[in-house]
Amino acid sequence: MSIDAELEALRQVPLFSVLDDRKLRLLAFISERSLYLAGEPLCEQGEDGSEAYIVLSGEIAVEVNHVTVAHMGPGSVLGEIAVLCDVPRTATLLASDDAEVLRISKDNLLELLEEFPQIAVAMTKELAARLEATSRELAQARKSLQNEGQPE
């Protein structure tokens, strides 16, 4: 993928839609493009988070305790929780099919967020939306379990 293709891919990431081409070029420059083959892990649940991932192509499975909880495609930013919160990885990320990603180191991501607070705001909104969806799913699962235990 050329730098122009990377820029076009980054323009499609909602998180980075606030950046002009110069800033997107900087992001592409400080990131490392990697190809993961189907079944190959990007990171493992429980390990230290030293980088975040921006999916350029393909699909990534998100697994928690060996259960697939989501599939994420192009434009998704993954692995940022461990980087931002200094906690172990909350999930394993596996390429569902061949996938190309940009890897951005923890230091570079934090510097980017410091320099461009609008990205931090967008990332906070994205994380809040994920938390809300997870909370809703947990409440629904709890309700289903409670209903299963009820005599008919």
Q: For the chain, what are the domain ranges?
A: 3-148
CA atoms within 13 A on the CB side of 77: 28
Q: How confident is the model at residue 39 (pLDDT cuts 50, 70, 90)?
A: very high
Token representation of residue 77: 């930013």
CATH of 3-148, one of 2.60.120.10, 1.10.1510.10, 3.40.640.10, 3.30.428.10: 2.60.120.10
Q: How confident is the model at residue 10 (pLDDT cuts 50, 70, 90)?
A: confident
Task: Write the CB contacts of 34 (distance below 8 Å, at least 6 apart in sequence).
Answer: 100, 101, 102, 103
Alpha carbons 136 and 23: distance in angstroms, whole number: 36
Contact 112, 30 (CB under 8 A): yes
Please report the pLDDT score of residue 116 as a whole number.
Answer: 84
What mean pLDDT do residues 38-49 have? 96
Please give the DSSP secondary-structure letter assigned to residue 120: H
